[in-house]
Amino acid sequence: NAGVTQTPKFQVLKTGQSMTLQCAQDMNHNSMYWYRQDPGMGLRLIYYSASEGTTDKGEVPNGYNVSRLNKREFSLRLESAAPSQTSVYFCATDEGQGGVTEAFFGQGTRLTVV
Amino acid sequence: AQRVTQPEKLLSVFKGAPVELKCNYSYSGSPELFWYVQYSRQRLQLLLRHISRESIKGFTADLNKGETSFHLKKPFAQEEDSAMYYCALNSGYSTLTFGKGTMLLVSP
């Protein structure tokens, strides 16, 4: 049982390049999230999808787009990468629907923009 | 706006010493609070949630609504407790707001 799987694990981009971070879950959860983790800043929510077919902005959405492809998959796209987007990105899922449930995290994607 | 404050970036203790990681929150509704932990090279995982009132790995956390706090405590720290700890608040429709985290280092 893989849980939450993110690809890739590491990536180096040049400024201006684009890329898509992939996240897939096999937990049959409704809600999926993208966070970025920066030293001294904790985890900040970029975008989330409360259910299949919906997406909403989080705290720091600028420079990102997302797609909830189906119930299992939630991708994060950087259209034109900037050095400020150097970070560790985490995908997370939970049962959603307004309940108090445990969030499960992927192993993270370490992105460096040079 | 919801906010979670963890005042200490780093907490360093010796093995066997008591540990208290502080967490304060601001939220207008009824808070749902969690502690998540990230061990070295591992993914973030749930440690405690306030509604379950359980003790995990010797850690406990009590919600104090009067002081708007949810401090994490352990009477005797172990080296394997060394990790990054995040306090988090459910801010509506299951979106979590995280504090900035406290790195706990337990020395032998």
Search chain B and give the residue with CA nearest A106: B43
Q: How far apart are CA A91 and CA A66, in angstroms?
A: 12
Other CB atoms within 10 A of residue A22 CB? 16
Give the model's pLDDT for residue B1: 73
pLDDT bin (cut points 50, 70, 90) of residue A112 is very high
Answer left, alpha or beta for residue B51, where phi above 0 means left and psi between -120 and 50 means alpha. Answer: alpha
Question: CB pairs below 8 Å between A and B: how many?
Answer: 57
pLDDT attached to residue B93: 58
**Tokens at B36, concatenated:** 């998540």
Return d(Cα A92, Cα A108) in angstroms, integer: 10
Using CB atoms and an 8 Å cut-off, which of residues 5-34 of chain B contact chain A?
A: 6, 9, 32
Task: Say how many Å lie between the first and final Cα of chain A, rounded.
Answer: 36
- 3 state DSSP class of A84: helix
Chain B closest CA to A56's CA: distance in Å? 11
Instruction: Name the residue among B43, B94, B99 with its Cβ closest to that of A101.
Output: B94
Q: Which two tokens stand for residue B39?
A: 């061990």
Question: Residue-wise pLDDT tens for chain B (108 aa)?
Answer: 788 999 999 999 999 999 999 999 998 777 789 999 999 988 999 999 887 777 889 999 988 988 999 999 999 999 999 999 999 998 665 588 899 999 999 999
Exposed e or buried b for every residue in B35-54, given b needs 16+ CB within 10 A? bbbbeeeebbebbbbbeeee
Residue B96 contacts residue B27 (beta carbons within 8 Å): no
Min Cα separation B36/chain A (Å) = 9
Residues of B in contact with A33 (CB under 8 A): 95-96
Question: Which residue in the block uniquely carries the two structure tokens 């906010």?
Answer: B3
pLDDT digits over A45-97, tens only? 999 998 888 999 999 999 999 999 899 999 999 999 999 999 999 999 988 76
Query: What's chain B's length in residues?
Result: 108
Q: How far apart are CA B49 and CA B70, in angstroms?
A: 10
The pLDDT of residue B65: 87
What pLDDT was estimated at residue B108? 94
pLDDT at B61: 93
The answer to whether A36 and A21 have CB atoms below 8 angstroms apart is no
Bigger pLDDT: A29 vs A1? A29
Return the closest-CA partner of residue A4 out of B21, B48, B45: B45
- Dihedral sign of CA atoms B41, A107, B84, A100 in order: negative
Phi/psi at B106 (5° precision): -110, 115
Q: What is the DSSP letter of A12?
A: E
pLDDT at B28: 77
Alpha carbon of A40: minimum distance to chain B alpha carbons (Å): 6
